Amino acid sequence: MFILFKGRPDLLKHPFLIPGKPALKVDIVGVMVAEKIGSCVALSATVLYALCNNLALIFGLSALRGFSEVIILAASYSLSSILIPPAKRARYFGLFNATYFLSWGVAGTLIVGPLTDVLISRGTAEELAYRMAFVSTSVLTLLGLIILGVLLWTMRRSAHSQP
């Protein structure tokens, strides 16, 4: 994990990134950086899925995807805990969990599945159709990463403009 932060020791000061240490104080910029790192790792692994022909490499990519999911989920919870007032956390975390986990299933069911079916029905080889499923997932992840980058840029800009 720490290889990702080589040359950026300032990222290691955020306690939620260090395994075994409780997150007593969460910095919103650090959370957003973690979200970006997790998204980049997920995007890279998903693109490599589409290019992969080796089962052992697929297992390694699955582990990498799991790593990215842990970072994304932990950073999402941290960001939510910053944005949701303590008195409303129980109710809003329930909504957060419902939408977060439902969104993964909906994207697969409504986008990737039909895309694969349409490609196969139009005569595309099954292997290529399934690879395109990973490519479409990569595009969705990239769009999310771009939105996250714009949000981070906007937050930094507004933080610097405040007296």
Per-residue pLDDT of the chain (163 residues; tens, 9 = 90+): 333 333 444 444 444 444 444 444 556 777 778 888 888 898 888 888 888 888 888 888 889 988 888 888 888 888 778 778 888 888 888 877 777 776 666 667 788 888 889 999 999 998 888 888 888 877 877 887 788 778 777 877 777 776 6
154/159 Cα distance (integer angstroms): 8
Q: What's the pTM value of the predicted model, to 2 decimals?
A: 0.57
Predicted pLDDT at 119:
92
Predicted pLDDT at 136:
83
Predicted pLDDT at 120:
93
Cα distances from 50 to residues 15, 63, 68, 78, 133, in angstroms, run 35, 16, 17, 31, 8
Looking at this protein, which amino acid is placed at residue 12? L
Q: Which two tokens stand for residue 69?
A: 């999911």
Q: Smallest Cα–Cα separation from 117: which of 135, 136, 130?
A: 130
Cα distances from 125 to residues 146, 149, 163, in angstroms, run 31, 36, 59
